[in-house]
Homo-oligomer: A and B are copies of this chain.
């Protein structure tokens, strides 16, 4: 069975999101190709992870574009963003935890761009009076990634229904657990 390089990447992403220590052999099996062919596409494990990172960045830049973060209220934009992000939530979870390992290494420039876009969205929300100003932009950004990743894991483990993903992430992120009076 022959697969496009992108299809291989997506299969690898699906596997590695669940089992980040999976062997190259397991990745090849999961992609339905031979290990040799996998090595023909990606020089090694590092190259594979780097390619996954770039796939993720591509996907999320696309998702950010589709979410039209500048339109409507910041809250509406954030809702669209979570919705657009859902298909790649597992990949995000993988990349976020993977990035924890890179200590000294410089962070991929693409992440900086994405962080800046998220941060700008939260900033707009704060300036327009929709979001709290006592939570730092950096923390709101991290919390968004964290909640998406956490919920992706919870869905994988069956603790949260897949259909509830968007609702759970966005409602907790926006409204929190406290029951407010006007609700």
Residues of A within 8 A of B (CB): 18-21, 75, 78, 97, 100-101, 103, 122, 125, 129-136, 138-140, 142-143, 145-147, 149-151, 153-154, 159-160, 164, 167-168, 171-183
| Interface contact A130-B180, CB-CB below 8 Å | no
Chain B, Cβ-Cβ closest to A75? B178
| Interface contact B160-A139, CB-CB below 8 Å | yes
Number of copies of this chain in the oligomer? Answer: 2
Minimum CB–CB distance for A7 against chain B, Å: 24
**Contact of A20 (CB < 8 Å), options: B101, B138, B175, B178:** B101
Selected A-B contacts with CB under 8 Å, 21 pairs: A18-B103, A21-B101, A75-B178, A132-B178, A132-B179, A132-B183, A139-B164, A142-B151, A142-B160, A143-B147, A143-B150, A143-B177, A147-B147, A150-B150, A172-B173, A174-B178, A175-B175, A175-B178, A176-B176, A176-B177, A182-B182
| Interface contact B100-A177, CB-CB below 8 Å | no
| Interface contact A176-B179, CB-CB below 8 Å | no
Given known A-B contacts A132-B175, A132-B178, A139 and B122 have beta carbons under 8 A apart? no
Distance in angstroms between the alpha carbons of A167 and B135 in the assembled complex: 9
Given known A-B contacts A135-B172, A147-B146, A154-B142, A181 and B182 have beta carbons under 8 A apart? yes
Distance in angstroms between the alpha carbons of A135 and B164 in the assembled complex: 10
- Report B-chain residues with C-beta under 8 Å of the C-beta of A75: 178
- Report B-chain residues with C-beta under 8 Å of the C-beta of A18: 100, 103
Known: A97-B97, A136-B160. 13 other contacts (CB 8 A): A131-B178, A131-B179, A134-B167, A135-B177, A139-B151, A143-B150, A143-B168, A146-B147, A146-B150, A147-B150, A172-B173, A180-B182, A182-B182
